[in-house]
Structure 1
Amino acid sequence: MMRRRTTLLTGCTALVLALGATACGGGPVSAGGGDKALSGQTVTVAGVWSGSEQKNFQKVLDAFAEKTGAKTQFVSTGDNVSTVVGSKIEGGNAPDVVMVPQVGVLQQFAQKGWLKPLSPAAQKTITADYAPVWKKYGSVDGTLYGLYFKAAHKSTVWYSPDALAQAGVKPPKSYDDMLKAGHTVSDSGLAAFAVAGQDGWTLTDWFENVYLSQAGPEKYDALAAHKLKWTDPTVVKALTTLGKLFKDKQLVAGGQKEALNTDFPGSVEKVFGPEPEAGLVYEGDFVAGVAHDQFGKSIGKDADFFPFPAVDGGTAPVVSGGDAAVVLKDAKNAKAGMKLLEYLATPEAAAVWAKAGGFLSPNKKLNLSAYGDDVTRATAKSLVGAGDSVRFDMSDQAPAAFGGTKGTGEWKLLQDFLRDPSDPKGTAAKLEAAAAKAYQG
């Protein structure tokens, strides 16, 4: 996959790790060529990141500044990116670059005429160094606006190696085997899964993995675009499959009621906290960051993962999320903003955050040695190796009213389904009614 440039890239990565991100010049796109061409200019970047994510992205911005002479400023928007950015545009204070966390929001920005198409240099790099699927998700009506800089691997099941060893089970290869292993873990004294039902987005991720594997990528794409109705038999089948897990008190820590009162960090705590209640938790690669940072777990030793297994003989799913960098058309310094995107497209930029941790890059030219541990290398290899079979988080592709709003749409309806999974067909009908309204709007 990366054999053509292994020697060159390994040397570059070693320099990056030893001397800092500016030690390696170039890559296919240079951001000002290292000649301080942007001295005196300030690039403003808006995004949802805060805490450690913001600190680590600042390291990337600092590397860009060192290379080009530009100053950078990051503005944290909170979760409601579109509202914050919209108000800034209306106030004549648009940021130069926005890190957009959802395909649906990127499409919304493009349709409002807010975005500047990517430069030929950025497009050339993305075409050469990324699987075509990432170009597809960054494009609207055939025009490429977004560069996916940070990705998430949402098809990872995390577990306590001690819990599985105590139960005498190994990481399963199929969904049915995973449920059987869960029952064995439960028989040994712990519940199988901690389910974060208080956060509706985690339930959409459960559904998407089951649906992608069971129904296949074509149906997945059609449902994501609402070209297939949520009342389709494939949806009812996936809900039925998920319902069997949700209603099994041996499999869900504390049963449905407790799951609905457990948020995402709480679900990780139930497996990796000081008083474990479950052996496994399904969610994205970012589980590792919580397990390590909050509970001191050594990733690969105290916490490990296996790929979300294939359902009903289908292909094992690879669902992803990600943050796309876009340049705003009305920005005061859009030209320098575009230079930042050209830099973010390089393996050099990705290596800065990869070294810091809590990061995956869809850039296939980033050498896996840039990542700090074997588990992250394994998740990155799985994501990049999936190529065009990767599918972006379905709820992130939907209008926010359906796929991204607390207490409404898909989030709420799947919470209702977790509470009472007895009527998959009825739930599918409610999902279709909510989807139809949101997509029409």
Structure 2
Amino acid sequence: MRRPSLTTLRATGALTAALALALTACGGDADPKSGGELAGTTVTVAGVWTGGEQKNFKKVLDAFSAKTGAKTVFVPSGDNVSTFVGSKIEGGNAPEVVLVPQVGVLRQFAEAGWLTPLSEKTATTAAGNLAPVWKEYGTVDGAYYGLYFKAAHKSTVWYAPDALEQAGVAEPKSWDELLASGRTLADSGRPAFAVAGEDGWTLTDWFENVYLSQAGPEKYDLLARHELKWTDPSVVTALTTLAEVFEDERLVAGGAAEALRTDFPGSVEKVFGPEPKAALVYEGDFVGGVARDEFGRKPGEDAKFFPFPPVGSGKAPVVSGGDAAVVLKDAKNADAGMRLLEFLATPEAAEVWAGAGGFLSPNKDVKPEAYADDTARATAASLVAAGDTVRFDMSDQAPAAFGGTKGAGEWKLLQDFLRDPSDPKRTAAALEAAAAKAYGN
């Protein structure tokens, strides 16, 4: 599942969300001071971003306004993008552009007839600087709707360098080395992993990395489309491999019980906070931003990462998430919205946010020096170098009932598996039953 922003994770209640919506919609919008081809036109953009992410995206919108003369307004959608957009369309107030964080939601929008295909200019620009896999994830029934602008690298393991130095271990290069290093870390006084089991989406990411490496991209794609059953032996094998971590208290700080009480920000705090309780935290490149912003760590210095290691004879996985920009055909200024997507397809747009930090682009033409630090440069280079071997977060491709609902589907079943990983076959059967119901087959 897509990683919610830290602000979203910590927000509580509908009142908080409503206040945030009102405050954001009223202030800080990009309003050009000079004329241009779109002078007098307003482009409204909706997305899940809050806090620093929203602030930095507004810098991109400001650059678009400076080029075109358009006024831009960003409105936070909340995590349930589908419900938000549906209500706006029904009320005759559709935003021009929506940043969609899930492949499944993009497909839902396209099948509902809400979207306008990308312009020829946007599609041509994207074809020149994005790996074909990104077009595949933005395409529904042969029509190219979604331009991937922001990506996440979800195959990074972050660590506290002092913990590895104290234990005398190096960055592991394989799954077996990872387990051995983790046990050595525990023996030296600090358990290996802070696991954010309270947030089921982190557990889906664990599974996806193991499965992609072990089973390979072809089976990964089949499972993501539910053309392969979750009872397939490859799934049982991956769950059995994952159980090697979940069942070992030297590898999971505090054991399963504590992990199930730990949310994503809490897992980062356990490694990089003032009172460290673990040496490693697996999640995406965004861990570095939380370590920096919340705990004063410097990515690349006292907060480092290594690639998620290959499992068995497989290759190192590169699992990604991302936000696709789409244009709603019922919006008042849909043509101006498409003009924004033409801009977002360029490296110029990506480099605005890259310089501000907390951002990775799948665009191969973004200059490495545009990124704010060496860690961002390294993760971006790894993502781009993976080319068509990148695979989008599997749970984000699934119907929300299976891959994106708290307390249900894959999230809950993997939490149950963390609590008791003794029977991978039973878990695989439960996953298949839930998937079949959600996919309707």
TM-score strictly above 0.5: yes
Write the mapping of 1:80-159 to structure 2, written as runs, cut at 5 A. 80-159=80-159
Counterpart CA distance in 2 for 1:129 and 1:87 is 34
Secondary structure in structure 2 of the residue aligned to 1:74: strand
Q: Any unmatched runs of 5+ in structure 2?
A: 1-33
Counterpart CA distance in 2 for 1:373 and 1:49 is 22
Counterpart CA distance in 1 for 2:107 and 2:370 is 32
Residue aligning to 2:28 = none
Counterpart CA distance in 2 for 1:346 and 1:218 is 30
Counterpart CA distance in 1 for 2:211 and 2:90 is 40
Counterpart CA distance in 2 for 1:298 and 1:284 is 16
Residue aligning to 2:181 = 181
Residue aligning to 2:277 = 277
CA deviation vs aligned residue, 1:340-371 (integer Å, no higher than 9, x gap): 00000000000000000000000000011100
Shift of the alpha carbon at 1:296? 0.2
Counterpart CA distance in 2 for 1:70 and 1:128 is 26
Counterpart CA distance in 2 for 1:35 and 1:385 is 40
Q: Does 1:69 align with 2:69?
A: yes
- Normalised to the residue count of structure 1, the TM-score between the two structures is 0.92
Residue aligning to 1:25 = none
CA deviation vs aligned residue, 1:33-62 (integer Å, no higher than 9, x gap): x97100000000000001110000000001
Secondary structure in structure 2 of the residue aligned to 1:416: helix
Secondary structure in structure 2 of the residue aligned to 1:182: helix
Shift of the alpha carbon at 1:313? 1.4
Residue aligning to 2:14 = none
Q: Percent sequence identity over matched residues?
A: 76
Residue aligning to 2:384 = 384
Secondary structure in structure 2 of the residue aligned to 1:95: coil
Residue aligning to 1:334 = 334
Amino acid of the structure 2 residue aligned with 1:84 = F
Write the mapping of 1:50-61 to structure 2, written as runs, cut at 5 A. 50-61=50-61
Counterpart CA distance in 2 for 1:35 and 1:240 is 61
Counterpart CA distance in 2 for 1:303 and 1:340 is 36
Secondary structure in structure 1 of the residue aligned to 2:252: coil
Shift of the alpha carbon at 1:123? 0.4
Counterpart CA distance in 2 for 1:101 and 1:83 is 14
Amino acid of the structure 2 residue aligned with 1:155 = S
Shift of the alpha carbon at 1:141? 1.1
CA deviation vs aligned residue, 1:36-90 (integer Å, no higher than 9, x gap): 1000000000000011100000000011001100000001011000000001001
Amino acid of the structure 1 residue aligned with 2:290 = V
Secondary structure in structure 1 of the residue aligned to 2:192: strand
Shift of the alpha carbon at 1:97? 0.2
- Whether contact under 8 Å (1:402, 1:438) holds in the other structure is yes
Q: Does 1:427 align with 2:424?
A: no
Amino acid of the structure 1 residue aligned with 2:306 = F
CA deviation vs aligned residue, 1:237-271 (integer Å, no higher than 9, x gap): 00011011101000100000000000000000000
Write the mapping of 1:294-309 to structure 2, written as runs, cut at 5 A. 294-309=294-309
Secondary structure in structure 2 of the residue aligned to 1:313: coil
Counterpart CA distance in 1 for 2:401 and 2:72 is 33
Amino acid of the structure 1 residue aligned with 2:100 = V
Residue aligning to 1:193 = 193
Counterpart CA distance in 1 for 2:141 and 2:93 is 27
Secondary structure in structure 2 of the residue aligned to 1:282: strand
CA deviation vs aligned residue, 1:125-177 (integer Å, no higher than 9, x gap): 11111000000001001110000000000000000111101110110110110
Amino acid of the structure 1 residue aligned with 2:399 = P
Counterpart CA distance in 2 for 1:440 and 1:339 is 38
4+ residue segments displaced more than 3 Å:
none
Q: Any unmatched runs of 5+ in structure 1?
A: 1-33
- Whether contact under 8 Å (1:35, 1:67) holds in the other structure is no
Secondary structure in structure 1 of the residue aligned to 2:122: helix
Residue aligning to 2:256 = 256
Residue aligning to 2:29 = none
CA deviation vs aligned residue, 1:4-60 (integer Å, no higher than 9, x gap): xxxxxxxxxxxxxxxxxxxxxxxxxxxxxx971000000000000011100000000
Counterpart CA distance in 1 for 2:132 and 2:142 is 13
Residue aligning to 1:243 = 243
Counterpart CA distance in 2 for 1:167 and 1:141 is 53
The CA RMSD over aligned residues, in Å, is 0.9
Residue aligning to 1:344 = 344
Residue aligning to 1:10 = none
Residue aligning to 2:399 = 399
Q: Does 1:233 align with 2:233?
A: yes
Amino acid of the structure 1 residue aligned with 2:319 = V
Counterpart CA distance in 2 for 1:125 and 1:180 is 46
Secondary structure in structure 1 of the residue aligned to 2:170: coil
- Normalised to the residue count of structure 2, the TM-score between the two structures is 0.92
